[in-house]
A and B are shown apart, each in its own frame.
Chain A
């Protein structure tokens, strides 16, 4: 029983982090129609920023959170300008395909630049708070996981408020819902694209800082998060934020339950088969709308 509760707790923590990583990806897809393959690199960059602050100044990950989100914010804008913007509105080409490839190229460049600068060795970052928190008999969570879940949930709620209450957030929602109408209302779409990429990248970097203390920071630190984010995004349906968050928790719980009963080795393959089943029933994910209807 204790093992089950333990698995559920850790599933919820993982789910929060997955939600934080994926929500930016789905936001970008909803607004820019770009599957951002550079999203994993933002997780990596977040980790490196946190490590540099720790190794250079001895500052903990909390400072890293702020710094990493600012750095990733800037990166998001640059990537949008370099890799996505020139592709928009070209006739005769599949925008989604070219944007997929161009952001993929960005991810190659970024992870190899990181390899060049920092080398292939893993870098360790300390957790925000050390020690474990004993929930009940036999069930304990590390304080860092609690912080991870708390930060992730705060960020998600903050994102929700930002998107539904603030002027800039509403502009993003408007562009995602109805591009032409948004343009007619005088929303500067180019700037909204920049903002979307920047905010989403910052969220991914926050996830990166938090994950850096659990795993290590390395040039390939973004690969697994990217894969997990892709799985969550397929499961929830691209472009649907609520679906993505729900899917993140489902995937997180599923993963820790599978690890509990069948071993860690089986978590990815089982997840993949679950995804395939979902795809067979609902080709656009649980909450995604068919692409024709969204064009």
Chain B
């Protein structure tokens, strides 16, 4: 009996505490990802993977607001583009080193996020999405109609200089870019994970789930939203800067409904508000969209249908769905073991644990 209830208790503690990433799995995925350009020597594949990595950075930053903060920011692509333009302008006109330019891009995005963020601070829910969405569209239309030559209008800025990989062969250069992007993804993931697990992250989630209660317990909505907005915009801006330097081009076509639909699909299919969701979703949608490369216009139709089906059938996304299934499988296996040991009381002590964990899930969701 004692052993059984200890097991049950430790299972409960595991479920209640922070979910720790499985270090072996993470290391395995990372090594595989790092090996990809060495194993699969195909320019096109590496290019797609690189793009996916950039989107992963962007989606992580977006998830911080949309999923974890519950701040309905649909203007993130504008911040991404502002980061890209900032970095491109700085390195084109002042010839500053690209690394610095990327940080300037991040700061530019963070500054721009203050413009949209401060009014949004007073809004909740649908009004925030209205305002941020129209902010994004206004930025896009402004850039397109810009004739002063600063942003290059609808053609965008081209000839953005390379990250300092001048001496390398094209293949090696691409590989170097790939590893830098991977490193950026990892750094972003670590920062985001640390943020989610910190008291700040808990406060943010509390604000999302019960704004009134959280505020009355001393969580300042203003401070939390400023931090989240700034951080998320900075990361998005860095992603934009990297994008501009890798492709050498930044154009208003990175904004708008088409790209936004891809990113929203990535976030929702992976699972909004989960740590792994944006990463898994990005990879999945990129793979699907590459499979459909030959049917160019069908691509977005299918992505739209996937998004619709996901939000209707599995609104929490795939990652929570799989996690649930995995946990259920483990519990089922544990029950089986308990059954093998032959103690009927152990078997009986399991269901309350399960329901307790379930209730806990309801609360945290």
Contacts and interface: CB of A to CB of B under 8 A. Distances in A.
B123 A227 contact: no
Contact of B134 (A104, A113, A231, A285): A231
A238 B127 contact: yes
Interface in B107-132: 118-119, 122-127, 129-131
B297 A115 contact: yes
B126 A96 contact: yes
Interface stretch (B18-26, B187-195, B299-307): B299-307
Contact of A230 (B134, B145, B261): B134
Given A105-B311, A269-B138, A272-B134, A113 B301 contact: yes
B288 to A, nearest CB: 14
Among A94, A113, A272, A275, which residue has the most Cβ atoms of chain B within 10 A? A272
B264 A104 contact: yes
A238 B126 contact: yes
B125 A291 contact: yes
**Taking each of B124, B133, B265, B298, which has the highest tally of chain A beta carbons within 10 Å of its own beta carbon?**
B133
B257 A107 contact: yes
A269 B78 CA distance: 14
B357 interface: no
B171 to A, nearest CB: 35
A43 to B, nearest CB: 14
Interface stretch (A8-16, A54-62, A82-90, A184-192): A82-90
Contacts of A115: 297
Contacts of A100: 72, 126, 129
Contacts of A108: 257-258, 261, 300-301, 303-304, 307
Interface residues of B, number: 43
Contacts of B124: 291
A275 B312 contact: no
Interface string A109-147: 101110110000000000000000000000000000000
A50 interface: no
Interface stretch (A68-76, A172-180, A276-284): A276-284
Interface in A257-295: 265, 268-269, 272, 275-276, 279-280, 283-285, 291
A268 B131 contact: no
A283 B127 contact: yes
A112 B125 contact: no
Interface string B96-112: 00000000000000000
B119 A116 contact: no
A73 B265 CA distance: 27
A82 B311 CA distance: 11
Contacts of A272: 134-135, 138
Interface in B307-329: 307-308, 311-312, 315-316
A51 interface: no
Interface residues of A, number: 47
A238 B258 CA distance: 26
A287 B141 CA distance: 28
A196 interface: no
Contact of B315 (A93, A279, A283): A93
Nearest to A85: B312
Contact of A87 (B118, B123, B131, B312): B312
Interface of B: 70, 72, 118-119, 122-127, 129-131, 133-135, 137-138, 141-142, 145, 256-258, 261, 264-265, 268, 297-298, 300-301, 303-305, 307-308, 311-312, 315-316, 362, 365
Given A87-B311, A101-B311, A113-B301, 19 more contacts: A82-B308, A83-B308, A93-B315, A100-B72, A100-B126, A101-B268, A105-B265, A105-B305, A108-B300, A108-B304, A112-B298, A112-B300, A116-B298, A116-B301, A223-B257, A230-B133, A234-B134, A276-B131, A280-B119
16 contacts: A82-B312, A83-B308, A86-B312, A101-B268, A104-B264, A108-B257, A109-B301, A113-B301, A223-B256, A227-B133, A227-B134, A230-B130, A234-B127, A234-B131, A269-B138, A275-B131
A-B pairs, top 10 by smallest CB distance, nearest first, are: A108-B304, A109-B304, A105-B308, A105-B307, A108-B261, A112-B300, A283-B122, A112-B301, A279-B119, A272-B138
